Amino acid sequence: MSVKERHGIIVTGASSGIGRAVALLAAERGYAVLAVARRADRLAELASEIGERAPFATLACDVTSADAPARIAAAARSALGRIDILFHNAGAARAGHLLEQSDAALRDQWELHLAAPLRITRSLLPDLRATRGAIAMMGSGLAVMPVPGFGAYCAAKAAVRAACTQLRRELRADGIAVSYCDPGVVATEFSSVSGTAAPKGMRRADPRQVARRLLDGIEQRRPRIDANRLQPLLLGIARAFPRLADAAIARMVDRTSGVEPTVAPMTTPGADTAPRHEDGRPPEGDLVTTLAPLARRMERAKLGLPFIASLLQPGATIDLNEAAMRWAGMPNKNERALLGELFAALTEAGYLERIDPQRVRVLRGAEPLERNGDEK
């Protein structure tokens, strides 16, 4: 069967978890697949695993980048021949309380979960009209039953849920199906990457089982697809009895000590109201002044300025978890939170810029230190 005769599917966030499992399953079912993700090495491993079983292409791309829609559309038209399914799976959360997250953090969640998928869909709409294809967007039970500590993620997923309903009604005349997917709690990298923790003892589904249920539902053009069959009942009860849901969530948070960040979000309360230059750049100050509000905590944690200065190599990329491990070996919750706040302060001061919730790029190095600290 030629590529043109095969149904084509685009899967974003395909380097791990559900996205990877959907890409593998689609290849097994005979689809021509375009797998999109940021991590080129993971995509290469996936392509190697699929081998010659099906036409398979990869695209290393951040879906939130300005050129992502054009790049994905061009790659799909070249590799797939036809586009029948567009599965928006890319996503990540970041732990933190909603009102303590910066404007940038709020925008990041909106961009990743809603704005970027809409832009990509717009670029592929002629192709989906031609095949009377299907669009699927990844939702979450947290869209209906938000949990403290997940910040803007819950609100962004609620927006995804509403957008799916709206798109389904708007695109009905074009013969395009739109599915809202709720995977339930799945055994993926979500918690470790997002800096959140699911309640202890909660059963996590196998990504392969979830992928099968989701792809089945997309093929059947169902408007809502629940990988966890029990979850709709629980969410229905939560909607019908909001006070009961609030009490249940409060007990769960108390029992699990909340949803704690593995590395605190790179946000600081009030950071977005700090004075800035006319072009939007934050004011620049020296390292000692920038970190002065955290100095006492740094001293108690034995986090010295020389260690921080050693990280500030212009052009370098810093992964927060790797930096935490390098500093403290096996950092505890408080040490991770301190490092997260420190990176937030450095971002506001213009030393760093965010690449994504987990990584930063160094914009400028540290000035010569006039006093030494105990490096750890």
Q: How far apart are CA 269 and CA 97, in angstroms?
A: 10
Using N-to-C axis directions, what is the helix angle for 103-110 and 152-170, rounded to 10°?
Answer: 30
Q: How far apart are CA 33 and CA 10, in angstroms?
A: 6
Pick the catalytic residue: 31, 153, 180, 351?
A: 153
Residue 230's closest CA among 205, 258, 211, 201?
205
Q: How far apart are CA 129 and CA 373, in angstroms?
A: 63
31 is catalytic: no
Beta bridge partners of 179: 136
For the annotated catalytic residues, the residue numbers are: 153
